[in-house]
Amino acid sequence: MDQAFVINVADAPARSHSRRATIIDFEPDDSPWPDTGVNIQVFEPGKPNGRYHWEPVQEDFLVLHGECILILEGEERRLRQWDFVHCPAGAEHIFVGAGEGPSAVLMIGSRRKDEAHYPVSDVAARYDASVTSETDVVAEAYADWRQEPWRPAANPWPLR
């Protein structure tokens, strides 16, 4: 059962992967939230937060720190602190770190449907953020990245 709680971002658990952003995750591992996913992802320049995709539910994003690139519907757009992004269901997207240092994005998405589609994107491929074959299967989309597991990481918040 969900429990109400308060946590400072700097105290939340974080995990990292060599090929993608570090995730600061507020959800307890043993009790994922059924309705809404919320996390902060911290990107180093050139690193994506995942694979280019779309979901059948709404997602919203707020750049909290630094600069990043949003690939939205096949086009790159440079974002900076306090830029807000709304992705309605079906909007293809991915984020990539940019600028001189780390960037951070607050990510909020509906969990009403736990599915995604991963199209091939030449633009996203420049950042190792595209699949090589279109798929709806998460394990296929991340097969090459799964060779290295996620690791617990030092929480990088607050960013400087």
Q: What local confidence, expressed as pLDDT, does residue 1 receive?
A: 56
Q: Give the end-to-end CA distance of the chain in Å, rounded to a whole number.
A: 36
15-32 mean pLDDT: 88
Predicted confidence band of residue 34 (pLDDT cuts 50, 70, 90): confident
Give residue 148's pLDDT: 84
Q: Give the lowest-confidence range in 25-29, 62-66, 131-135.
A: 25-29
- Which domains, ranges and CATH numbers included, belong to the chain? 14-142 (2.60.120.10)
Residue 72 reports pLDDT greater than 90: yes
| Strand ranges in the chain using DSSP code E only, listed in sequence order | 14-17, 20-25, 36-43, 59-65, 67-72, 75-80, 84-87, 93-98, 103-110, 151-153
Asked if 60 and 71 touch (Cβ cutoff 8 Å), the reply is: no
pLDDT exceeds cutoff 80 at 29: no
Whether 159 and 106 have beta carbons less than 8 Å apart is answered as no
pTM of the complete model: 0.93
